[in-house]
Structure 1
Amino acid sequence: MSADARAAAGAPAAKKSGFRPDVQGLRAIAVLFVVLYHAGVPLITGGFVGVDVFFVISGFLISTHLLESLESHGRIRFGSFYAKRARRILPASLLVALLTVVAAWIWIPPLLMNEVAKGAVSVALYVPNMLFAVQGTNYLAETSPSVFQHYWSLGVEEQFYLFWPAILALGFWLCRRSERRLLIVVSVLTAISFVLCVVGMAISQPWTFFALPTRAWELGAGALVAFLLRSGAPWLRSVRTGLLSWLGLALLVAVGLLYTAATPFPGYTAALPVIATALLIVGGAAPGGANANRLLGVRPMQFVGAISYSLYLVHWPLQVIPQVVAGEESPLPLWVKLLLGAAAFPLAWLLFRVVERPVIAWAPLRQRSQLWTGAVALAASAALIATGGSSYLLTQEEEAATDVAAAAEAPRPNPEGTDFVPENLTPSLEEAEDDNPTIYADGCHRQEPDTDPSGCRVGDDEDAPLVFLFGDSHAASWYPALAELAEQGKIRLDTNTKSSCTSADLRQLESGVEYTECDEWRAGVIDRINAEQPDLVLLTNYPGAPPELVGGNDDFPAKWQAGLESTIGKIDGPAVDVPNQGSTSAVCLSAHLEDAQECAIPVGEAFDAPLVTASEAAATDSGATFLDLGRYFCNEENCPAIIGNTLVYRDGHHLTAHFSRQMAEPLWKELEPTIG
C-alpha cells in the first residue's frame, strides 16, 4: 500500500459537511427517473421512486447541517435555518406555481379552474400533499391529474423541515448533549414511521402515500446516514466500503426498471429505493476509487443534478396541460411526451440561473433580519393565492352554456344528441360532478374499507317482484332508474353496491394491495341473495378500466368471463353497462359550448368489444340474460354527451342521476320479460 493510500485509509471520518459531487449525481438519477417516468418511457416503469431518493438525500443533508450546529453551538438557530430553507425552496416553487396558474387559465377548460385554484392555495399554504390525500380517498372525484400534483413531495419536505429541527434540538437537550443517545431517539422515530407506512397501506393507500407521518421514515433514513457518517466507525474509512455505492446503484436501477404502477407503494416496497440511496451515500463517502463517484461526477450528471430541483418543478405542468388540452380520451403519443420532457431541461436551466441561484445569494435578504425573508415569502404566497383565486373567479364569469334552450327528450334508441350546451341543461356543467345517486349520501353504497353485505330496500308493495342490484359504482349509477320503478310499485329494490368492487368472482388488487374487503363483501351479498331468493338479480360492473387482478391481467377478457360465470352460477341475473366516455364530459363541454359533438365519443371507443363479448358469453353460457342498453346511449356513429336538455354523464363513465332516472321506462321494458 502506498503512503497516500495508507493516509487515506487511516484518515478519520470527516464530520464537517461539504459539497459532494456524488450526491449531486444522485440527484440527477432521481430527477431523470421522475421525468422519464412521467414522459411514459416504457422501460422506466418504476421511475416514481426518484422522489424517494430525493427524500433520503434531503434527510441526510438537513440532518448533517443541524447536527453540525448542535455540535458547534449546542443549539439550532431556528430563524437562520428557516430563512435559508425559504430562500432555497420557495422562489422557484412559487414562481412556477404562479406561471402554472396563468398557463392553466389560458389553455385548460374553465370547469377545471376550481381544482387549479385549490391546488394553488394548497401550495401557497405548504399543504398540497394533504389536499391530494383527501382527494385520493374520494372515489367520486374523477378529474384530470392536478397541475400541482408533483408538489406533494415538497409539501412533505416542507412539513418535515418545520418539525425536524425542533425534534433534534429537544432530543439533544433531553439526551444531555449526547449524539449517540440522540441517534437512538431518531432510530425509534424512523422505525415508528416505517411501521405506520406498512400498516397504513391496508387502511388507506392515498393517506399513506401523501402524509408526512407515513413518509417521514424516508427522510429519517437519510438522517441515520448522517449520524453514521459522523460516527467515525473504522469500516467507513476502508476503500472497500466504496463498493457499497455500486451495490446501491445496481439496486436503484433494478427498482426503476422492475417496479410498476401495480407495485404496492409506498409500504415495505419503498424500503428498497431508500436502502439503495443510503448505500450510495455511504459508499460515496469512502476514500479511494472503488466507489461510483467517478460515474456520478461526470459533467452531464453534475449539470442535471444542479438543475434537478427546477427540472422537477417545470416538467409536470409541461406534461399535464397539453394532455388536458388534447383531452384525456386522446393520450399524447410517446414522441410528443418525450419532446415535452426535453423542453423541460432548458426551462429548468433558465429557472436555475435566473431565480434559484440568484435568490439564494441575494445580499439584501442574506444580510438583513430573517424576518425580511419571512415577509417576502408570505407576500409571494399571498400573491399565488390571489392569482389562483382571481383566475377561478374570472372563469366563473364566463358562460357555462349557450343562451339557447333545448327541448326535453325521453331516452330512445339511436339518439342524435344535442350539438350545443343548452341554457336549460340538467344538471348544469357546474353541478354535474355532484349529481350522484342518493345511495352515496344515505350510506347505502359501500366504500372500499366497508364489508357490510346488508342492502337498502326501496318500494312498499309486498306483491312486487324483489330485484337485487349487485355490482360496483356502475351498478350504483342505475339506482335512480330502479328506485323510480320501485316508487311506481313495479319492483321492490334491494341495493348492493360497493366502490371499485366488481360482482364478478375475481380476486382484485386495490392500490397494489389485495382487495380482501371486496371478496368478503361479495361473498356476503351472495349468501344474502341465496337466503332472500329474489325474483331477479341485476349485475352491472365497469370493466372499461380493468381492475388489477391478483396474478396479473394477462388474457383479462377470459378471466372476466370466468369471474362472471362463477357469480352467475350462484345466482340468476342479467348484466348491463354504460359507454365509457374516456374523460369527464362536463369538462370537455365547458370548452365546446357551441359544438357539443366534439365531446361525443365514437362508438368504437365507447365499449371494449372483447369485454362486451366476454360478458355476453358469460350470461349466455350460464343461462342468464344479457341486456344491451347501448342503443339508448349511442347512435351508429357516436355516444353524445347531451341528449335533449339532459347531461348524460357526470364524469367519464358514470351516469348523472337525472339521466339514470329518465332511463326507468326503457330499463323496465328490458327487465319485465326476465321477471315474468
Structure 2
Amino acid sequence: MRTPPDSSAFRTDIQGLRAIAVLLVVLYHSGVAVLSGGYVGVDVFFVISGFLITTHLLGTLQRDGRLHFADFYARRARRILPASFAVLIATVVASAIWVNPLQFTQVLEGAVWTALYVPNYLFAAQGTNYLAETIPSLFQHYWSLGIEEQFYLLWPALLAGSFLALRRRAALLTWVILAVGVLSFIACLLLVARVQPWAFFSLPTRAWELAAGGLVAALLLRRPAWATTRLAGIGAWVGLAAVIGSGFVLTSSTTFPGTATLLPVLGTAALIIGGSQATKWSPARILSLSPMLFIGKISYSLYLVHWPLLQIPQAAVGYDHPLPVWVTLLLGLAAVPVAWLSFRFIEEPFRTSTRAKKARPATTLWATAAASGVVAAVALTGMFVTNATPVSSGRDVQVSAALTVPPTVPPFVPANLAPPLRASGNDNAIVYSDGCHQEEGDSNSDGCWFGTDDRAPSVVLFGDSHAASWFPAFDELAEAGKIRLNSNSKSSCGSVLYAEERVKQQRPSCDVWRRAVIDRLRQDPPDVIALANFATSRLGGEADPRTAWSEALAKTIAELPSQSRVVILADTPDFQVTPALCLSAHVDDTSACAVPRSEALDDRVRQAEENTDGADWIDLTDRICDEQKCYPIVDNFLVTRDAHHMTKTFASALAPALEEKLDRVLP
C-alpha cells in the first residue's frame, strides 16, 4: 500500500503546475492566438497559493494551537516583496526613458497603488477590461499579486479566529473555508453581471479561488488514503486536461470570472489532489521533468518581468504600431533569463540567506513598511511634478468661430488645446457623474430630461456610450431652449436590436434596459428619436456587416413609435488607440497621429445607416475628417478622450452643426 502524500512536503508536481500556469500567461500575453484563454494561468496560481498557505496555517494551528503572525508576515514579505519592488522600480526607470510623457504619469500612478499593495482596486475603479485593454497599465499584471497580498493579510486572522471560536477543533475549519468559498463565488456571479471590472479585480469576488486551494489543503491535511488511489490519479489527468484545455477554449469574450472559471480552478484542485508522486497513475512524472521544475522555480520572477518586457517596447514604438508576434515571442523568451537573474540574485538571497533568516520579524516588517512608503512617496511626488508640466508645443492657435468643412488641423499640439492632453481622459459628459448614464449592470430606463423650455420639441437620445459622448452637443441645444432632451444611454448596450439572444446571455441587463426604453417611447412618443451606437464593435464577427446592420436598424425602427421621426447619428471615427498618447510624443507634428479615413470609419456601416428606410441620417464626420484622413485635433479642440469617445469639449463645439441638421427634422 502506498504511503499517502504529506501535504506539507515539497511537491515537484506543484512546481510543474506552476510552470504550466506561468507559461499560459506569458504565451497569452506574447500574442499566441490559439491560447485565447491563457489568462487562466493566474487562476491556477490562486488555487496553488490557497493550498500552500492554508496547508502551512492549518498545520501550525494543529501543532502549536496558535499562529505566529509576525513570523508568517515576515516570511511572506521576504518571499514576494524584494523581486516585486525590484521590478516595480526598474519599470518606472525604464518608463522614464522610453514611455511618452502622458503615459508616464499613468505609470507613476500605477506605481503608487502597487507599492501600497492595492493595484487591483485602481484597475477596478478605472473600469479596466483586462481581457481587451488596448493600452494597458505597465503594472496591470500586479493585480493578481495585490489579490494574494490582501489574502495573505486576512486569511491567517480568519482561520485563527475561527479556530478559537470553534474551541480549537481544527476539523471544523474545513466548513469555514467552504463557506467562504461559496459566499465569494456567489458574490462573483452577482457582480460579474453588473460591474465586471470589480468582479475581476477585487478580493471578495476572487477569494473563492484561493479558498478552493484552501479546501484541498484541509482535505489532504490528514493524508487520506483515497488521495493515492488510481481514481485520484485519473482525476489529476482530467484536471491537467481542464487547465490546459481552458487556455485554448476560453476567449476574451468569455464572461470572466464566472462559471467558466470553474474549469481551471477545479482542474487545478484535482491536479493537486491526485498529482503527487505517491498517487497511482498520477501525471507527477511529466510535471516533475527538469525543464518544468526550472520554469516552476523561476515562475514568480517570470510572471513579474515578462509584462514590462512586452509592454515597454510596445509603448516606445507607439500602440498604433503593434509589434509583430515574432517580436513579442522573442521578448517573452527573453523574459526567461531575466527571470532567472531575478530569482538567483534577488528572490533567493532575501528568502534563504542566513542574515535574512536571523532578522527579527519586526525588523523585516518595519523595513517592508518603510520601503513601501518611500516608493509610494517618490512615485506620488513624480506624479505631481509631471502633472504640473504641460504637454504641448507651447504655441497657441487662433480659435475659429465655428468648426469648418474641411476641418482646420493645426500641425502642432496647441498650448490652448481644449481639453489639455493631461485632462483629456476625464473630459466626460455630465451624464457619467449625475447618474443618468447607465453602467453595464444597471437597467433604469427612465432617462433624464434636460432643457429650459417645455414647449420646445422633444428629442430622445438613445444608445450606448457613444450616445453619451454625443450628449454635450444635444445638451447645448437643450440649454438654449431649442429642444427638450431625454437622454438614455448605457455602457456596451446599443439601442439597435442586434443579436438579441447573444446579448441576453452575456448582458441580460442590456436587453431589459433597451426593451424598457422602447416600451416607454411607444407609450409616450417624442418628436425625434436619435440613435447613436458604436456599431463596429458589435459587427466584428459578421461576414456581411452592412446587411446585418441594415436588418438590425430596420427591425429597431419597426418597433419605435411611428409618430416619431427617427434620426441615425453617423458614428465618430475610431482612432484605434488613444490619440492623446500619440500626441504627447509628437507635440510638433500632429500629422503623425492622424489616421487614414478608411481605417477610422467603416464604410459598410455608414452605407447601411445612410440608406435606412424610415430614418434620417446626420453625419458630422466632415468636421473631423477630410477625404484622406481623420484628425485628433481640430482647431484648438481635442476630438476624443480615448480611441473613439468624443471629449465633452469637442462634442459641445459640434452643437451648431448638429442644430443645423436637426432643424430639418424637428417639427
TM-score, with structure 1 as normaliser: 0.92
What is the CA-CA distance between 1:344 and the residue it aligns to?
Answer: 1.0
The equivalent residue for 2:624 is 633
* SS of equivalent residue, structure 2 residue 417: coil
* SS of equivalent residue, structure 2 residue 462: strand
What is the CA-CA distance between 1:174 and the residue it aligns to?
Answer: 3.0
Structure 1 residue identity aligned to 2:390: E
Q: Does residue 198 of the first structure (1) align with residue 192 of the second (2)?
A: no
* SS of equivalent residue, structure 2 residue 488: strand
Using a 3 Å threshold, how does the CA distance of structure 1 residues 213 and 461 change in structure 2: closer, same or farther?
closer
Summarize deviations over 1:449-500 as a string: whole Å, max 9, x none: 3322223333444554322222122222222222223344433322222222
* SS of equivalent residue, structure 2 residue 485: strand
* SS of equivalent residue, structure 1 residue 527: helix
Cα distance in 1 for residues equivalent to 2:358 and 2:242: 44
Cα distance in 2 for residues equivalent to 1:441 and 1:193: 30
Cα distance in 1 for residues equivalent to 2:134 and 2:285: 45
Match of 2:559 among 564, 567, 570: 570
Structure 2 residue identity aligned to 1:21: T
Contact kept, 8 Å, 1:57 with 1:222, in 2: the verdict is: yes
Using a 3 Å threshold, how does the CA distance of structure 1 residues 535 and 177 change in structure 2: closer, same or farther?
closer
Cα distance in 1 for residues equivalent to 2:334 and 2:624: 41
Match of 1:395 among 386, 401, 409: 386
Contact kept, 8 Å, 2:456 with 2:482, in 1: the verdict is: yes
What is the CA-CA distance between 1:554 and the residue it aligns to?
Answer: 6.1
What are the ranges of 5 or more consecutive residues in structure 2 without an aligned counterpart? none
What is the CA-CA distance between 1:415 and the residue it aligns to?
Answer: 1.6
Bigger shift: 503-512 or 299-308? 503-512
Using a 3 Å threshold, how does the CA distance of structure 1 residues 530 and 238 change in structure 2: closer, same or farther?
closer
Summarize deviations over 1:275-306 as a string: whole Å, max 9, x none: 11111111122526621111111111111111
Contact kept, 8 Å, 1:427 with 1:435, in 2: the verdict is: yes
Cα distance in 2 for residues equivalent to 1:367 and 1:265: 43
What is the CA-CA distance between 1:30 and the residue it aligns to?
Answer: 0.2
What is the CA-CA distance between 1:394 and the residue it aligns to?
Answer: 4.2
The equivalent residue for 2:434 is 442
The number of aligned residues is: 660
Structure 1 vs Structure 2 CA RMSD: 2.5
Cα distance in 1 for residues equivalent to 2:17 and 2:428: 47
Contact kept, 8 Å, 2:230 with 2:281, in 1: the verdict is: yes
Cα distance in 1 for residues equivalent to 2:539 and 2:79: 42
What is the CA-CA distance between 1:673 and the residue it aligns to?
Answer: 2.2
The equivalent residue for 1:654 is 645
Contact kept, 8 Å, 1:202 with 1:513, in 2: the verdict is: no
Q: How does 1:152-163 map to 2 (within 5 A)?
A: 152-163=143-154
Cα distance in 1 for residues equivalent to 2:619 and 2:43: 47
Structure 2 residue identity aligned to 1:164: W
Bigger shift: 501-510 or 406-415? 501-510
Structure 1 residue identity aligned to 2:558: G
Q: Does residue 134 of the first structure (1) align with residue 128 of the second (2)?
A: no
Using a 3 Å threshold, how does the CA distance of structure 1 residues 80 and 267 change in structure 2: closer, same or farther?
same
Cα distance in 2 for residues equivalent to 1:532 and 1:182: 59
What is the CA-CA distance between 1:270 and the residue it aligns to?
Answer: 1.2
What is the CA-CA distance between 1:633 and the residue it aligns to?
Answer: 0.9
The equivalent residue for 1:336 is 327
The equivalent residue for 1:209 is 200
Bigger shift: 177-186 or 121-130? 177-186
TM-score, with structure 2 as normaliser: 0.93
Match of 1:497 among 489, 495, 512: 489
Cα distance in 2 for residues equivalent to 1:511 and 1:134: 24
Structure 2 residue identity aligned to 1:432: S
Cα distance in 2 for residues equivalent to 1:137 and 1:323: 19
* SS of equivalent residue, structure 2 residue 650: helix
Q: Does residue 609 of the first structure (1) align with residue 603 of the second (2)?
A: yes
Cα distance in 1 for residues equivalent to 2:324 and 2:546: 26
* SS of equivalent residue, structure 2 residue 403: coil
The equivalent residue for 2:214 is 223
* SS of equivalent residue, structure 1 residue 63: helix
Contact kept, 8 Å, 2:407 with 2:635, in 1: the verdict is: no
The equivalent residue for 1:5 is none
Cα distance in 2 for residues equivalent to 1:639 and 1:512: 35
Contact kept, 8 Å, 2:566 with 2:614, in 1: the verdict is: no
Cα distance in 2 for residues equivalent to 1:272 and 1:138: 21
Structure 1 residue identity aligned to 2:195: S
The equivalent residue for 1:246 is 237
Bigger shift: 287-296 or 353-362? 287-296
What are the ranges of 5 or more consecutive residues in structure 1 without an aligned counterpart? 1-8
Structure 2 residue identity aligned to 1:427: P
Summarize deviations over 1:385-419 as a string: whole Å, max 9, x none: 13422432443354312222101122122224111
Q: How does 1:5-404 map to 2 (within 5 A)?
A: 9-11=1-3, 13-15=4-6, 17-136=8-127, 144-285=135-276, 287=278, 290-396=281-387, 398-404=389-395
What is the CA-CA distance between 1:235 and the residue it aligns to?
Answer: 2.0
The equivalent residue for 1:561 is 550
Cα distance in 1 for residues equivalent to 2:118 and 2:501: 29
Structure 2 residue identity aligned to 1:596: T
Structure 1 residue identity aligned to 2:647: T
What is the CA-CA distance between 1:142 and the residue it aligns to?
Answer: 8.8
Structure 2 residue identity aligned to 1:474: H
Bigger shift: 577-586 or 432-441? 432-441
* SS of equivalent residue, structure 2 residue 9: coil
Structure 1 residue identity aligned to 2:325: L
The equivalent residue for 1:482 is 474
Bigger shift: 505-514 or 195-204? 505-514
Cα distance in 2 for residues equivalent to 1:323 and 1:18: 42
Q: How does 1:530-609 map to 2 (within 5 A)?
A: 530-546=522-538, 555-571=544-560, 572-576=565-569, 577-609=571-603
Cα distance in 1 for residues equivalent to 2:251 and 2:375: 35
Cα distance in 1 for residues equivalent to 2:204 and 2:455: 55
Contact kept, 8 Å, 2:5 with 2:228, in 1: the verdict is: no
Bigger shift: 84-93 or 662-671? 662-671
Summarize deviations over 1:13-70 as a string: whole Å, max 9, x none: 2446222111110000000000111111011111111111111111111111222222
Structure 2 residue identity aligned to 1:630: T
